[in-house]
Chain A
Amino acid sequence: MQDRTYYVIDPEGKLRCRKCNVKLEKGRAKFMYLDNGFPVELPVCPRCDFVYVPEALALGKVLSVEKALEDK
């Protein structure tokens, strides 16, 4: 389970961290909700660890998983 990645987004060099002034890279992150964890690969700042969650992901996959977990 630990190795499974549920969702992958590559920033393709189009996102830049304002604080560190470096481009975001595809990096490992984890969504946590109600004691459940889901490893994903999202755009992450290599220096400050800022993780970007795009709108489509938040209102799509994330929302549907939230709803499913809430009713567990």
Chain B
Amino acid sequence: MSKIQERGSTHVYKVNKISKEEMDSMVSLCVYEDPPYCNAACPLKLDTRALMKAVAEGDFKKALQIYEKIAPFPVLLSQCCEAPCEGRCRMGEVGEGISIRDIEATVAANGEVTKSGGVFRRKKRQTVALFGSGLFALFLAGEIEKKMYPLTVFCEEADIEAYLKSAAAFLDEQSFAIELKRLKSKDIDFVFGCELSPKFFEEKRADFNVLCASEEAAKCFFKDAQCDRALMYYEAEKLVMGSGSGTMDAAFGAKKAALTVDRLAQKLSPANMRGEEGAVDTRLYTDMSEARELKRVAKSGAVYTKEEAMAEAQRCIQCRCEECMKSCAYLKHYKKHPGLLSREIYNNTQIIMGDHQLNKPMNSCSLCGQCAVVCPNGFDMAQVCHAARRNMVSTDKMPLAPHEFALLDMLFSNEEAFLARPQPGVEKCKYVFFPGCQASAIAPATVRAAYEDLSDRLEGGVALMLGCCGAICDWAGRYEMQETTREFIKNELSKLGDPIIIAGCPTCKKELSESVGGEIIGIWDVLEQIGLPEGAKGLSRPAAMHDSCGARGDEATQNAIRDLAAKLGCELLETEYQRDESPCCGYGGLTMYANREVAHEMAEKCLERSDAPYISYCMACRDRFAREGRESRHILELVYGTDAGNPPDISEKRWNRLTLKNNMLREIWGEESEMAKLPYELNFSDEALEMMDDRMILKSDVIAVIEHMRETGAAIDDEDTGYIMANHRVGNVTFWVALTEDAEGYTVHRAYSHRMKIVKGNG
């Protein structure tokens, strides 16, 4: 059989199968990181979702910390902010939006006043002066102090109480007391009773690095003072200034002004590098089915009590787009949203020297395309992982180990187990039946029954082609091998006179449509036309239908299968994630070879939809579900009354394909094809069989070791175990077998392998 070249390690070259621009445009489809609507609407960028979560959990201390990040005076802000967030709350679309401002007011009133600064925070060197009072000036003072600039406030008021009063005369006594305490705790130098005149300003001007003023004060100093509202900056006099028409306007103005102070203090242009300011748009998708409590919690007094605030915050559905992560076991396993995971996988392909830590995640996606269907924006993780795999292959950095077994299996299907014959007595057949490699491996009797039925009932002759469509090398990213396979199949089809392909597997149908083209139909389409054969019978119990990922987007196939099931008398149950939304069983994309844990989670995810038996129309799905212990039948088993029984192990799968080919050759085409017989008895202990299936060691590998031992005599006796230990290198793997010998032959007790080569001496 053909071999596959191991990857190189010293070649360093770069080929891009996916450009950075393509990746960027793909990543931009993922809206996971878009802000929730309430947050996007807030010019101050309050993390409302986190605040609601903290309140819902009763953590008012944490809630206040979140609120204080954007509000130096939380009580003040919460009592008079215009709350643009409430208007955008998605709950408002199905009921009443969350009373965010009322919750904030309760948070501000109930959380502890946290002390400014911190033990480890140091004041900056650049000094700032702020002239005047009022709401804008108060907020600006709070923002500058938070940025750790030594700040001096010059005001006309006689004391700190009067200063606060000038900004927030509307506060009730209790609220005023809280904010006064907060203001006093801040590290700000106040100079009271100043006369804010141009002369006073000129006297102080040279003592500070950055100067700020309320609009009123600025106009006293400069008659024509006028600021740029985007920067809150009067450039002619290098004065940061502003005012606010409302509370939110004053708070947002103070935030912009504080950023300008920051830039000026660093001697940078205030207009540059400001980031995104103010309210923004968002594309976040929210699953509104989460909404339960549609009515607002009523207030028993002027403000919510803590309990009322908690109940109201618990109504928040925590808007977050996780549609793909809810439905895909792979994304759930890696706990990363596809935007982030894609970026990391792309970066992985760009590493020239160093560890490719994302190889495993890249090879663990089943390439099934479910995410593209469930994502509101059509983000396709399969596209990213497939391109990344091809990129790794093109740069010779793709490890062979995760996919080698599957690739060799494909070569086996298209070499030793391959068969292409026209129907006996028909020179040029109208059709060719292509059952797919997994059908021959898992349910050979079904394949044979299907072929005999088709060749019996279809006019024009039906040829047979047993082989692999090339999906395996396509999934592995081995594009050169894929091209070779395409040429091979195309050539074999041409020898048969390019008949219409009747695919037995939706993945083969899809793969062959893309590779060799021509007319391709499914066996389900044919059966719909010619009706069921005699003896066809459905399951007696209601069953769940699992749609194949190969049939995603192929509504005609999905319908034809359901029609077949109905004709068979099957009662199908409604389940989650059907048709185009169907998840992968774990075989697709070679996940079961690259990451068994994820493949198992994928099968579990499929099976959690129903406790009933599963009917599928892809043999790999049938096999994966049966391996998980679920009653699982391929629809063709029901059509032809064949039961493939327990899932075969990896050696039986090959054996099934080979015997199917040889039996059909002998019995249908009258061609003798002897299967080589061993000149000795070969037995396996149960432990050895289990071990071999787990370690992907074939009986043919073990036979190769024994043949080598018989030929060369190379082996050792292990005194401790009593076993003979023999080895042989097959392709890129060295296999070891522990066996015992008797008069008839050998019994295999253990088997293991390694990919490293071992040589005597220092090499």
Contacts and interface: CB of A to CB of B under 8 A. Distances in A.
Contact of B724 (A18, A28, A36, A42): A18
A28 B761 contact: yes
B758 A30 contact: yes
B7 A30 contact: no
Interface residues of A, number: 44
A27 B252 CA distance: 77
A10 interface: no
Contacts of A27: 760
7 contacts: A18-B724, A39-B763, A42-B758, A43-B716, A53-B727, A55-B750, A66-B754
Given A66-B401, A69-B9, A19 B713 contact: yes
Residue of B9, B401, B760 most packed against chain A (CB within 10 A): B760
Q: Is the interface of A mostly helix, strand, loop or mixed?
A: mixed
Given A28-B760, A29-B760, A55-B736, 8 more contacts: A14-B719, A30-B761, A43-B716, A58-B753, A58-B754, A62-B754, A66-B756, A71-B359
Interface in B557-601: none
A35 to B, nearest CB: 5
Interface in A49-72: 49-53, 55, 58-59, 62-63, 65-72
Contact of B760 (A36, A51, A71): A51
Interface of B: 6-10, 354-357, 359-360, 399-401, 712-720, 724-725, 727, 734, 736, 738, 750, 752-763
A67 B757 CA distance: 14
A50 B755 contact: no
Given A62-B756, A66-B754, A16 B717 contact: yes
A42 B521 CA distance: 58
Nearest to A32: B757
A32 B759 CA distance: 8
Contact of B736 (A19, A42, A58, A68): A58
Contacts, number: 116
A71 B718 contact: no
Nearest to B695: A59
Contacts of A58: 736, 752-754
B758 A51 contact: yes
Contacts of A15: 716-719, 725
Contacts of A52: 716, 725
Interface in A7-32: 14-19, 24, 27-32
A63 B754 contact: yes
A19 to B, nearest CB: 4
B736 A18 contact: no
B754 A14 contact: no
Contacts of B750: 55
A31 B758 CA distance: 5
A50 B716 contact: yes
A39 B717 CA distance: 24
B246 to A, nearest CB: 57
Contacts of B357: 71
Contact of A33 (B359, B718, B720, B756): B756
B10 A35 contact: yes
Contacts of A35: 8-10
